[in-house]
Amino acid sequence: MKLGDAERRMLDGAEGNARRKAMEILAALGEMYGAEETVPVRSAQIAGVSYANLGDAGLELIEEWAADGRVACLATLNPAGMDLRDWRAHGIPEEFAERQARIVAAYERMGVVASCTCTPYLAGNLPAPGEHVAWSESSAVTFANAVLGARTNREGGPSALAAALAGVTPMYGLHLDGPRAPTVTIRVETPIASTAEFGALGAAVAAAAPGRVPLIEGLRDLRVEGLKALAAALPTFGGPPIFHVAGRTPEADRYPRPAGGVAIGRREIDEAAAALDDGAGEIDLVCIGCPHATLDEIRRVAALLGGRRVAAALWIATSRPVRETAARAGLVEAIERSGGTVVADTCFVVAPLEGRFRSVVTDSAKGCWYARGPNRMLVHLRDVEGCVEAAISRRSAVGAQRTAHSAQRTAHGAQHTAHGAQRTAHSARRTAHSGRMRGRVIRAGSARGIALSSAVPVSFYGGVDPATGVVLEKGHPLEGRSMAGRVLAIPTGKGSTVGSFVLYRMARLGTAPAALVCGECDPVVAVGAILAEIPCVDGIDTGLIPDGAVVRVDGAEVVVDEGNNGTKKPSTALTVERSPSR
C-alpha cells in the first residue's frame, strides 16, 4: 500500500508511539486486503469501551495509547459498561465504575467524544452519502453503509481507533464500489411490522444467503427503528455489513439487480424469531433500545405503560442526547413513575449483568443473541407491546409469538440439522486430506497444536468466554469446547467488532488459541491477532483441517498431520494459491 509522507512519518514513529502503532495496524490491514492507498476519514466510531469486555488488559492498552495519541478526525464512542452518571442507582460495583471511568477518561485524553452510543448517527456523528468513515460497532457500520450511503468496513475497535489517530484508513472493501453491489435478491413476501420482526428478517436473510450482499424487495413500512433493527441483526447472524432496500436506500438503484433470488415468507420469519425464544415463563428483565432507542421508541413505551407499574426490571437504553430530549418531554419521568428506567451510555449487553438477571424479554434479535453470551440469560424476542406487557406481568407471554413458539422446535431442529450437515461434510472431507497448504500471513509466527476445526464462523465477542476460551454460542458445532492453546480453524469471524479486544484479552489471560487459520480472515479477527500477537494465516480451505488433527502453522504454511501425535508425515502436498487482492 502506497503511503504518503505524513503516513510514513507516523509509521516511523516521528509522531509518537500511538500513531506508530495505529499506522502499523492500518498498513497491515492495507497490505492484507490489497489496498493501493489510504483514504481520509471524516469520522470514526470506536467500539471496545465497556470494562466488562476489555478487562484490565484492554484498559492498559487504551491507557498506553492515550499517553501520546490524539485523534485527527471526529471520533465517537460506543456504549460503556454503565450509565456514566447514574451507575450507582443501577447497582454497578465501585471497582467496576472506577475502571470504566478510567477507560472513558483515556479515550477523552485522545480527543474522542465520550458519546457512548451505538447510534452515533442519532447523536451528532452523521456522515453524508459517499463519505468515507472508519466505524466499528456492527449495527452502526451496517446502518452507515446501507441507510446513510456512507462507506466503511466493519472495523474492529482497535482499527477504528487507529484510523481516528491517523485520520486515514486503507482503501479496500466497502470503500470501493464493487463489494457494495448486491449479490442476491431477497423477496420479502410477508408484512414486516415490528422491530422484533425486522431483527428476525436480518437473521433470516443471513441464514438464507450467508455472506452475500442482499437487495431486499417487498419492504413497505420503513422507519429508522426497523432499519436499525435490521442493520443490527444482519451482521450478528453472519450477513455482510451492508444491505440495500429496493427503491428506498441510497445505493439500491446504483447496481444491477441480481437475477433470481430467495423468497422469505412468514415461515422463515417465525422460525428466525422462534430460535430466539427460550420459552414462556417467568422473566425478570425487559430491555428495549438495542440499538439505542429513538425518541419515538421511548415515547411509545411511555404510552404503552400508560401509568401502569412494572413488576420486572424495565430498561430502555438510549444515547445521552436522546435521553435528555425525552426528559424534557416528560417521558423519562413517566417511565420512572411506572418503575422503569431510561439508561444512557450503556446497554443490557455490555453492562455487567451476569448473575443479576436470569431471563430477558427484548424486541432486539441482536440483543437476544448477545444476552445468551456474556450475560448468560434466557431470551425471549417480542414486539414492543409484548415487552411492555411482560414487564408488567413479569412473564413472557405466548400470545403474539404463538406461531414462533410452535415453530421453535422446527427452527432448533433445522439449525441442528444444518450444523449436523456441516459437521458431516466436514468430517467427510477430513478423511480425504492431510498435508501442506500455503495461505497468506495475517500475523507472522509459528505454533503447533491440536486443531479445533469448525465449518461455522466464530464470534469472539458473545460467542466465546474470554476467561476460559470456551465457545458459548448455542447450537454452534464447537459449543462447550475450549480453544485455549488449540489451532483454531474457521472459515471467518462474525459478530461484534469488539471481538478484536476479546482476542487480545484472551491472549493476556492465557485462553487464546495458539494459532488462527481462516478461510477468509475478517478485519476483527485480523486486528485481534495482530494486537494479541497470535500467528494467523488465511486463504486456507479450513475444511481440509480435521478437528483433532495435529497442525503446525509456520508463517504462511499450514501443515496438517493426521497422526495426532505429530510423528506421522503429511501424506499429501497441497498448495492453495491466493489471488493477490480482494
The neighbour count for residue 382, using CB atoms within 10 Å, is: 28
Is the torsion defined by CA of 89, 94, 100, 104 positive or negative? positive
8 Å CB contact between 578 and 437: no
Element of type H or E holding 344? strand 341-344
Tell me how far, at minimum, the Cβ of 506 lies from ligand F3S, in Å. 20
Q: What backbone phi and psi angles, to 5 degrees, belong to 423? A: -60, -45
Nearest-angstrom CA–CA distance, 414 and 486: 29
Closer Cβ to ligand F3S, 32 or 335, answer by number: 335
Sign (positive or negative) of CA dihedral 7, 105, 503, 288: negative
- Please count the other Cβ atoms lying within 10 Å of the Cβ belonging to residue 438: 17
Identity of the residue, 380 or 440, whose beta carbon is nearer to ligand F3S in the bound complex: 380
Handedness of CA 107, 113, 115, 121 (dihedral sign): negative
d(CA 60, CA 57): 5
Shortest distance in whole angstroms from residue 259 CB to ligand F3S: 34
Cβ at position 79, least distance to ligand F3S in Å: 4
Report how far residue 24's alpha carbon sits from residue 574's, in angstroms, rounded to the nearest whole number. 32
Closest approach of ligand F3S to the CB of residue 436, in Å: 42
- Which residue in 19, 236, 207, 262 sits closest to 140, CA to CA? 236
DSSP 8-state secondary structure symbol assigned to residue 289: E
Task: Name the strand (E) or helix (H) holding 328.
Answer: helix 320-328
Q: Give the residue with the Cβ less far from ligand F3S, 366 or 372.
A: 366
Give the nearest distance from C-beta 367 to ligand F3S in angstroms.
Answer: 6
Q: Which is nearer to ligand F3S, 194 or 542 (CB)?
A: 194
Minimum distance from residue 233 beta carbon to ligand F3S (Å): 10
Q: Nearer Cβ to ligand F3S, position 226 or 367? A: 367
Task: Give the helix, strand, coil percentages of the chain, each rounded to 5.
Answer: 40, 20, 40
Measured from the CB atom, the residue of 134 and 317 that comes closer to ligand F3S is 317
Smallest gap from residue 81 Cβ to ligand F3S (A): 10
Residues 6+ away with beta carbon under 8 Å from 526: 28, 29, 32, 156, 442, 443, 536
Q: Which three cell numbers stand for residue 173?
A: 472493501
Shortest CB 498 distance to ligand F3S, Å: 9
Q: How far is the CB of 23 from ligand F3S (least distance, A)?
A: 28
The single-letter code of the amino acid at 579 is S
Q: Compare residues 236 and 408 and give the one whose CB is closer to ligand F3S.
A: 236
Helices in 91-194 by DSSP H: which ranges? Answer: 94-109, 138-143, 157-166
Residue closer to ligand F3S, measured from CB, 172 or 370: 370
Helix (H, G, I), strand (E, B) or coil at 168: strand
Rounded CA gap, 318 and 363, in Å? 14
Measured distance CA(83)–CA(317) in Å, rounded:
9
Q: Which is nearer to ligand F3S, 172 or 243 (CB)?
A: 243
Given the rule CB under 6 A, which residues bind ligand F3S? 78-79, 118, 139, 232, 290-292, 317, 347, 349-350, 366-367, 370
Q: Which residues pair with 253 in a beta bridge?
A: none
In the bound state with ligand F3S, the residue whose beta carbon lies nearer, of 350 and 490, is 350
Report phi then psi at 446, rounded to 5. Answer: -125, 145
**Closest distance of CB 290 from ligand F3S, Å:** 3
* CB 354, min distance to ligand F3S, A: 15
Nearer to ligand F3S, 45 or 153 (CB): 45
* Cβ atoms 154, 242 nearer than 8 A: no
